Amino acid sequence: MENEAIQSVAVGQSIAATDMSVWGLFMQADPIVKLVMLLLLAASFWSWAIIFDKLLKLRRLREIADRFEEKFWAGGSLVQLYERVGLNPQDPMSAVFGAGMREWKGAANDGGPAREGRTGTALQRVERAMRLALGREMEGLERHLTFLASVGSTAPFIGLFGTVWGIMNSFQSIAISKNTSLAVVAPGIAEALFATAMGLVAAIPAVVAFNKISNELKRYANRVEGFSEEFSAVLARDSEGRA
C-alpha cells in the first residue's frame, strides 16, 4: 500500500510538473512527433508565403490590366503602344498584346495582312501567337499552386501519423509504469493531438487559398483571353479597311 501511495504521489507530482502549453507540448514530444510538427510548421509558413504572394500579385495585375485597357481603347496608335509596353511586357496582358503585334508586324513586312486578309491566315497566326503567350504567362502565375494543393491533401495525414505515433508512446508509458490512470498518459495524448491540430492548421488555409487563387487566376485568364479576341477583331477590321 505504501508503495502504491508513493507511486501515486510521484505520478501526481510528475503531472503537475508537466508543461501543457504549446511550447511545453512541443519540447516534451517524442523526436518523431517533433519532426512531424516542424515539417507541418514549415509547410504552413511556406503556404502563407505563397498565398500572400499570389494574392498581392493578382491585385497588382488587375490594376495593370485596367491601365493597359484604358490606353488600348483610348484610340491611340497601336504601334506606339507596342513600342511602350509590348517590347518589354511586365504583365500577361501586355505580353499577349506584344506577341500579337509582333506577329502582325511580321506579316505586314511580308505584305501579309493586306493580301491574306480574306483568307484569315495572318489573323490565325496572330491568334496562335497570343494563345501561346497566354499559356506561358498563366503557367508562370500558377507556379507553386501545386504546393498548396499538396499541403491541403497531405498535411492532415502527416499530422495523423504524428498522433498515432504519440498515442503508441502513451500506451508504452502505461506498460512501463503499470498505471492505467489518465493522468499518466494525458501529456502524451495531448502531444499527439497537437500534431493533428497542426496538420489541420496547415491544411485548411492551403485548401481555401488554393480554391480562391485558382478561381481568381481563371477569371484573370478569361479577361486576357477576352482582350485577345477583341484585339483580333480590331486587327481584322484594320485588315479589311486596307484591302
Tell me the per-residue pLDDT of 175-193, one tens digit each, with 9 for 90 and over: 776 666 666 666 677 777 8
Tell me the per-residue pLDDT of 107-116, one tens digit each, with 9 for 90 and over: 766 655 445 4
* CB neighbour list of residue 39: distance below 8 Å, 6 or more residues apart: 158
* Rounded-to-integer distance, Cα 52 and Cα 188, Å: 35
pTM, to two decimals: 0.79
Question: Hey, how many other C-beta atoms are within 10 angstroms of the C-beta on 148?
Answer: 25
Would you list the domain boundaries of the chain?
Answer: 25-242
201 grid coordinates: 492548421
211 grid coordinates: 480554391
Tell me the per-residue pLDDT of 21-72, one tens digit each, with 9 for 90 and over: 666 666 676 788 888 889 999 999 999 999 999 999 999 999 999 999 998 9
